[in-house]
Amino acid sequence: MVAISCGHQRCLSCWTEYISEAINDGPQCLTLRCPEGSCEAAVGIELIELVSNEDDKKKFHDYLLQSFITRRRKAKWCPAQDCEYVVFAYIGEDANNDVTCKCLHSFCWNCSKEAHAPVDCVRVGEWLSEMDAQLKNWYAGSDAFSEGAPDNEDTKPSDDDNDCKRELAESSPERLERYYSGWLISEGSRINAVTELKVLKEIRLEILCSYLNLESTELDFLVEAQMQVIECWRRLKWMHVCGYYVAEDEQKSKLFELTLEQAKKLVRMMEKHVDEFVSTVLACDTVSTQYIARRINIIELNRVTGEYYGRLVEEMKSDLSAVVSVTTTITSSSIDTDEDSSNSSSSSPPEKAPEKEPEGLSSVFNYKHKRE
């Protein structure tokens, strides 16, 4: 016979049956009580471990972990499909809610949707709802980007919906289509960049390490640059949403379009440098010179791009009050790929910028556990 803290006893087989049934009933087994009448004594984890089979133990511990994560504001399951990581994040006061899991999926800590800076969570919901409605119109045979729903009582939005979507309703279909197309194109470019990152990690790095006789860590700058490309396309995707919601101010609209084009040119330059690095280095007789020069160029361009996009996101959050412009030096001496400038730059690499703590997030780390 086995007793718990209240003194009530049961045989081992009775406890086994009672606990197994509770575990298979679901997460309420975490508050399992004594089976004796109205007794409120808790059944301890030691007894559960003692009498449970391996399957029941696993279910019980999964319930424990899920309960822990649900109750903690600083822990969340990564929302990416098939990801088994739990993300722990410690958010500062002026927090940037975007976090990145070890699986490389970036998401918003606040709403768990894909990371969407510089667009806030409310506006993301409005945008996605509108896109869903427009796609339904398209599938139903109407124009892909219509003025609104048919005028009948069943389909009329509520007053609250009208308040939330007034800007959308008042905008022209052409404007919506233009920014929606940009949104889709940027997402396609991001997906292509993710594919390129996988190819880089799984194939290209091995070839380069063998040819240059380097450790893989010495080529981390290439991986970091490609990850920057992915992040830039993701931000550009949501910048198109910002552009759609920008107030109908002609000067501000022109400024936005100019800024968007500068941002696209910068990320395409990043893509070009990363893509050409492997072929150029492998095809050149003077491997060391080309490697050093192009390495310096990519590292510098990565730094400039990260800083520019960071400032641009902040300005778009403030409704383009003082949009920054990309520095002209990007296309001149600091990122010059001509042979003469490459050779000269290889002898005097730029000083490494001091590392800064990321704004908003003081720490992000992962715990891996398979979700059922």
> Tell me: the pLDDT tens digits for 156-195?
444 554 444 444 444 567 777 888 899 999 999 999 999 9
**118 contacts 139 by C-beta, under 8 angstroms:** no
Question: How would residue 249 be classed by pLDDT, with cut points 50, 70 and 90?
Answer: low
Who has greater pLDDT, 359 or 366? 366
Instruction: Please give the Cα distance from 107 to 114 (Å, whole number).
Output: 4
The pTM assigned to this predicted structure is 0.67
Average pLDDT score, the chain = 76
> What is the pLDDT confidence band of residue 308, given thresholds at 50, 70 and 90?
very high
4-50 pLDDT tens trace:
888 888 888 898 999 999 999 988 888 899 988 889 899 988 888 88
pLDDT of residue 216: 86
pLDDT at residue 211 is higher than 50: yes
Rounded distance between C-alpha atoms, residue 283 and residue 272, angstroms: 16
Q: Assign 198 a pLDDT band (cuts: 50, 70, 90).
A: very high
The pLDDT value recorded for residue 95 is 58
Confidence category of residue 370, pLDDT binned at 50, 70, 90: low
What is the pLDDT at residue 362? Answer: 33
Q: Give φ, ψ of 260 to 5 degrees.
A: -65, -40
Q: What is the pLDDT of residue 155?
A: 37
Mean pLDDT confidence for 94-102 = 77
Name the strand (E) or helix (H) holding 202: none
Task: Provide the pLDDT for residue 92.
Answer: 57
Half-sphere exposure of 304 (CA within 13 A, CB side): 24
pLDDT of res. 293: 86
Does residue 298 surpass a pLDDT of 70?
yes
Q: What is the pLDDT of residue 190?
A: 94
| Residue 97: predicted pLDDT | 82
SS3 322: coil
Instruction: Please give the Cα distance from 349 to 329 (Å, whole number).
Output: 16
Residue 148 confidence (pLDDT): 40
Residue 350 confidence (pLDDT) above 90: no
Answer yes or no: are the C-beta atoms of 235 and 309 closer than 8 Å.
Answer: yes
Q: How confident is the model at residue 126 (pLDDT cuts 50, 70, 90)?
A: confident
Mean pLDDT, rounded, for 223-232: 95
- Give the residue ranges of DSSP H helices in the chain: 12-25, 45-51, 54-71, 121-139, 159-164, 166-170, 173-199, 205-212, 220-245, 250-283, 287-317, 339-346
Q: Is 40 helix (H, G, I), strand (E, B) or coil?
A: coil
Rounded Cα gap, residues 372 and 369, in angstroms:
10
CB distance 287 to 211 below 8 Å: yes
Could you tell me which residues come within 8 angstroms of residue 330 by beta carbon, excluding any fewer than 6 positions away? Answer: 266, 269, 301, 304
Residue 105 and residue 229 in contact, taking contact as beta carbons nearer than 8 Å: no
- pLDDT value of residue 247: 54
- Kindly report which listed range (190-194, 292-296, 323-327) carries the lowest average pLDDT score: 323-327
What DSSP state is assigned to residue 156? P
Integer distance in angstroms from the first to the last C-alpha of the chain?
34
